[in-house]
């Protein structure tokens, strides 16, 4: 049951919720919005009806609109967003101290608001929080790559990983960059748009983290190592067998400070369609 309810004392009968329903499920019944019982199964629980109702008259899924965050005057302006987007950097130097669990939980709870295809909300984050677990993952990854290198089992398209092994044997960490935390982002194989959903969620996480002074790195080398070359590592860390791991992200407190943006406006590739 979607528990669609209308507070008639607040409802202005404006019809905004009906106009904004993604699949046009709502209709007026006796002058007020309603969700017919035979259409409930089509509802994707996007909550647009509750969000678009200015007086807060609409409730769905048992949620109280009074508990939602008001938006009036709270969005960052374009210049603030420009600074955030241009100013974020891939961090490859991290302080060793881990973040507080509460901080990580807050970041991920906010990231859960990232859009997903048909509102499937199937993205799952496996979070590495403590240094001991990160150290174990580094060691297991090294051993797996050493084994592949000995058997000459690293394919040519990932030949860079052959050069990674001696660096790791010297005590360097070109894959995980000595980051205190790792996100392994996945979605169940039945989730539509799962690859796009994961990339969108990680992009939201990256910008949110940057706004909080937390650094991130898109961990492509880690993805090659743990997903493409040695997927047994995913099982050892607890990724569900029916999940596709799309990408990995490192994060933690930066041990470096940047003072200006780079200059890439000239790299914008824009074409305008004119008919």
pTM of the model: 0.94
Q: What is the pLDDT of residues 1-31, one digit of tens each?
A: 899 999 999 999 999 999 999 999 999 999 9
> 193 — alpha (psi -120 to 50), left (phi > 0) or beta?
left
Could you read off the pLDDT of 134-151 as tens digits, one per residue? Answer: 999 999 999 999 999 999
5-67: CATH, from 3.30.1360.20, 3.30.70.20, 3.40.640.10, 3.40.50.1980: 3.30.70.20
CATH class label, 80-252: alpha beta
Q: What's the mean pLDDT in 91-114?
A: 98
pLDDT of residue 235: 93
Whether 253 shows a pLDDT value over 90: the answer reads yes
Place of tokens 């499920």: 25
Same fold, 5-67 and 80-252: no
pLDDT (0 to 100) of residue 1: 87
Q: What is the pLDDT of residues 53-101, one digit of tens each?
A: 999 999 999 999 999 999 999 999 999 999 999 999 999 999 999 999 9
Backbone angles phi, psi at 19, to 5 degrees: -65, -30
CA distance 220 to 95: 21
- Mean of the pLDDT values across residues 254-264? 96
Using one digit for the tens of pLDDT, what is the confidence trace for 147-205?
999 999 999 999 999 999 999 999 999 999 999 999 999 999 999 999 999 999 999 99
What is the 3-state secondary structure of the chain? CCCCEECCCCCCCCCHHHHHCCCCCCEEECCEEECCHHHHHHCCCCCHHHHHCCCCCEECCCCCHHHCCCCCCCCCCHHHHHHHHHHCCECCCECCCCCCHHHHHHHHHHHCCCCCHHHCCCEEEEEECCHHHHHHHHHHHHHHHHHHHHCCCCCHHHCHHHHHHHHHHCCCCCCCCCCCEEEEEEEECCCCCHHHHHHHHHHHHHHHHHHCCCEEEECHHHHHHHHHHCCHHHHHHCCCCCEEEEEEEEEECECCCCCCCCCCHHHCCCCCCCC
Domain boundaries defined on the chain: 5-67, 80-252
Distance set, CA 271 to CA 216, 221, 263, 266 (Å)? 31, 32, 20, 14
CA distance 153 to 228: 12
pLDDT value for 220: 97
Distance CA 81, CA 188 (A): 32
């Amino acid at each position: 049951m979607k528990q669609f309810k209308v507070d008639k004392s607040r409802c202005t009968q404006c019809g905004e919720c009906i106009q904004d329903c993604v699949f046009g499920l709502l209709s007026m019944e006796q002058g007020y919005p309603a969700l017919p019982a035979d259409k409930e199964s089509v509802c994707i629980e996007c909550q647009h009806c509750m969000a678009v109702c200015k007086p807060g008259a609409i409730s769905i899924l048992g949620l109280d609109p009074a508990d939602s965050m008001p938006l009036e005057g709270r969005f960052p302006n374009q210049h603030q967003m420009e600074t955030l987007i241009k100013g974020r950097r891939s961090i490859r130097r991290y302080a060793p101290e881990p973040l507080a669990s509460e901080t990580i939980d807050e970041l991920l709870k906010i990231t859960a608001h990232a859009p997903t295809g048909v509102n499937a909300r199937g993205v799952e984050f496996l979070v590495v929080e403590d240094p001991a677990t990160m150290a174990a993952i580094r060691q297991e990854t090294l051993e797996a790559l050493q084994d592949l290198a000995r058997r000459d089992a690293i394919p040519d398209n990932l030949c860079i990983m052959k050069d990674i092994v001696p660096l790791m044997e010297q005590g360097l960490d070109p894959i995980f960059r000595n980051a205190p935390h790792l996100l392994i982002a996945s979605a169940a194989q039945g989730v539509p748009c799962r690859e796009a959903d994961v990339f969108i969620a990680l992009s939201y996480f990256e910008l949110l983290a940057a706004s909080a002074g937390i650094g991130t790195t898109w961990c492509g080398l880690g993805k090659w190592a743990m997903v493409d070359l040695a997927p047994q590592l995913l099982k050892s860390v607890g990724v569900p067998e029916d999940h596709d791991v799309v990408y990995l992200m490192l994060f933690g407190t930066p041990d470096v400070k940047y003072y200006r943006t780079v200059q890439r406006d000239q790299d914008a590739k824009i074409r305008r369609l004119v008919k």
